[in-house]
Amino acid sequence: MIELSAAEIAAITQGQLTTTAEARHNQIVSSVTVDSRDVQPGALFVAKPGETTDGHQFVPQAFRNGAALALVERPVAAEDGDESGEYPAVVVDDVVLAMGRLATEVVRRLRAHSPLTVIGITGSAGKTTTKDLLAGILSEHGPTVAPIGSYNGEVGVPLTVFGADYNTRYLIIEMGATKIGHITYLATMVAPDIGVVLGVGSAHAGEFGGVDNIATAKSELLRALPEAGTAIINADDPRVLAMEAVTVARKLYFTSDNSQVPAGGPVVRATTITTTAEGHPAFELGLPGAHDSTTFPVTSRLIGTHQITNLLAAASIAAALGVPGADIAGALSQLGAQSRWRMERTERADGVTVINDAYNANPESMRAALRTVAELGRGRRTWAVLGEMLELGDDSIAEHDAVGRVVVRLNISKLLVVGMGARALYNGAVLEGSWGDEVVFAADVAAAEEMLKTALRPGDLVLFKSSNGAGLRFLGDRIALSSTETPSTATPGTSVPGPTDLQGGPQL
């Protein structure tokens, strides 16, 4: 983070210094955190109120860990021996809005100091994977800052900005939303130069009041781009393609279906698409420009052909920034999943393969994951352990029912449905034509775990998929490790809960 004084932070956030902070108004802050456990000497601790706890309770701990200043909504009395009176702080009406003001000023100062390109990424699925891919490409061409985990909301975006300094060349921002106007707020904060909308799905349709409103929310990123900016458009998604009308920026399309591309538009293409025996997508990458006839082979380390959307989006952004095609293709072939619970594959010592894709779920991503398991599982017994897809609104029963029927049509060997919220998924599979013990319902995660411990056999392939709040990602971790202390192969890492956006979980 760039260094700021206590007085500057107060002015930027429209806050007031406490008496103890006034006495040290030249105190320099060199980092920002909302977690008192992560405080480093010289940090600004943001006392963010939450649904279950209040950051003001952790102000004493933050100062014991070396905080220089706090951002608070009310002064916090100091503990005996820590400070006299109250902890030094900037008092504001709303710490989340204050973080946004601070992030806006940080971006302004970074741009004034040296060249900086801000890239915004949004979409109903794939944001984090695309962010990880792009960071892997750009980090070879300049200092790059990208979100931790899935920091993509009103708290996570400022925290990402605070990770940048005057040497940062590329700042990647993941943008989620829970209602119309959220992405406009985030875009106003960071002023993106390049924006991509990966796709419009039905996740959170209940909150938004329908898929059309989701499309409107996503289009806010392209609408916010300047005329000199670049809009990266998924031409394979009709709702995204329609967004070309709302942006004044230059347009770059990507597609694996050439018939969808507007005539004459610059295009990034995936052709000759195949998958390896391990389920990794492979294709020829075509880029626009002077060498349109040249293609570059890509064999990704990600799992599933649905990842091609994310791979093309990252390639398109890199191409727009002038990264050579050979470098883009080489990086995409080297990069695997960097964030947890995204088609994360573990090979158990007993021959069971676990694919844990239970960080988030919507009908579209459910179908994509199931198709991947069906392709990978030829000649093996396959399992789909599925939980609830949250926030589908009035369409929830119908959407869960439809996914259950897809499981049967794909000839998945075993379906284990977990939780009453997903009961319609079980019903749909039964009505589609399953019988006997092919489809099983477990009332909760504990019951599902007991069943799997005895039912899995060497050679089985098992998928875990649900929305984050259903908790199947942790069940997947336990099953992946149940036959051995450490997985023989795991991507990307350990079974430690990873960060979500600090607004309370993943956002659309």
Contact (Cβ atoms closer than 8 angstroms) between residue 90 and residue 13: yes
Dihedrals φ, ψ of 355, to 5°? -115, 115
Cis peptide before 266 (omega within 30 of 0): no
**Domain-wise residue ranges, the chain:** 4-93, 98-334, 344-490
User: What DSSP element (H or E) covers 240?
Assistant: helix 238-241
pLDDT in tens, 96-128: 999 999 999 999 999 999 999 999 999 988 898
CATH of domain 98-334: 3.40.1190.10
Please check whether residue 177 is in contact with residue 122, taking contact to mean a CB–CB distance below 8 angstroms: yes
Residue 151 has a pLDDT of 87
Euclidean distance between CA atoms 152 and 327, whole angstroms: 28
What does the pLDDT read at residue 177?
A: 85
278 CB-side CA count, 13 A: 13
Q: Whose CA is closest to 19, among 65, 77, 62, 64? A: 77
Cα–Cα dist 441/501, whole Å: 31
Phi, psi of 182, deg, nearest 5: -65, -45
Residues of the chain with pLDDT under 50: 484-501, 503-506
The three state secondary structure string of 88-132 is: CEEECCCHHHHHHHHHHHHHHHHHHHCCCEEEEEECCCCHHHHHH
- Give 498's DSSP letter: P
- Domain topology for 344-490: Protein-Tyrosine Phosphatase; Chain A (3.90.190)
pLDDT of residue 378: 84
Predicted local distance difference test score (pLDDT) of residue 368: 87
pLDDT score, position 178 = 80
CATH number for the domain whose boundaries are 4-93: 3.40.1390.10
Residue type, 235: A
Q: Which residue has the tokens 């030829």?
A: 378
Encode 400-436: b = buried (16+ Cβ within 10 Å), e = exposed. bbbbbbbbbebebbbbbbbbebbbbbbbbbbebebee
Residues with Cβ within 8 Å of 492's Cβ and at least 6 positions away in sequence, in order, are 336, 337, 338, 339, 340, 344
